[in-house]
């Protein structure tokens, strides 16, 4: 019963908002009304408003990044996270997806990541290791 009442209220207020827009009522009042409506709706139509932009966790992370340990940890990102994306874009010449749709692009991305990993494994196994210490012996 509660969900049914919520849905009826949603459609009635949406209709009221369209009439208000047609009559030229202040747009801010319409936006505030829209936010208030969407907070009460359950399911996919619910609007989540995130207001904690500079919260405690963000301040803790900013403080952690200022320490020497935090800077060393963040410097690892160049090798572990950013490098594969740069390698895929520059060396494999892959800058855009060839398919459309979420499922197809996820499959394409997975194939691309697999090819990147196979290439790394192949190069690591076939690399020539030079013994610089005993080079002239």
pLDDT digits (tens, 9 = 90+) for 8-48: 666 666 666 666 666 665 555 555 555 555 555 555 555 55
Residue 30 shares a structural domain with residue 8: yes
Report pLDDT digits (tens) over 73-97: 888 877 777 777 888 888 888 888 8
Domain count, the chain: 3
pTM for the predicted model, two decimal places: 0.41
In a domain, 113, yes or no: yes
Which tokens hold the place of 123?
Answer: 């190069």
Residue located via tokens 């209220």: 9
Rounded to 5°, angle at Cα 112 from 111 and 118: 85
**Cα 59 from Cα 113, distance rounded (Å):** 34
Q: Tokens standing for 119? A: 């290439």
Query: Is residue 48 assigned to a domain?
Result: no
**How far is residue 77's CA from residue 84's CA, in Å, rounded to a whole number?**
11
Which residues, at least 6 apart from 89, have a Cβ–Cβ distance to it below 8 Å? 95
In a domain, residue 46? The reply is no
What's the average model confidence in pLDDT over 94-123?
A: 87
- Looking at residue 3, its pLDDT comes to 57
Q: What is the pLDDT of residue 74?
A: 84
Token pair for 21: 């827009």
> Does residue 16 lie in a domain region?
yes
What range does the domain containing 67 cover?
A: 53-91
62 and 32 co-located in one domain: no
Phi first, then psi, for residue 124 (nearest 5°) are -70, -30
Let me know if residue 137 belongs to a domain. no
């Amino acid at each position: 019963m509660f969900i049914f009442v919520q849905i009826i209220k949603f459609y009635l207020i949406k209709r009221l908002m369209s009439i208000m827009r047609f009559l030229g009522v202040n747009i801010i009042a319409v936006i505030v009304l829209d936010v208030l409506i969407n907070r009460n709706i359950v399911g996919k139509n619910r609007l989540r408003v995130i207001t904690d932009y500079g919260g405690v966790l963000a301040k803790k992370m900013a403080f952690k990044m200022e320490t020497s340990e935090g800077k060393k940890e963040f410097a690892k990102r160049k090798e572990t996270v950013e490098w594969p994306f740069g390698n895929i874009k520059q060396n494999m010449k892959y800058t855009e997806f060839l398919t459309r749709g979420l499922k197809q692009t996820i499959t394409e991305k997975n194939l691309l990541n697999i090819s990147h990993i196979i290439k790394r494994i192949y190069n690591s196994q076939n690399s020539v290791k030079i013994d610089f210490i005993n080079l002239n012996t």
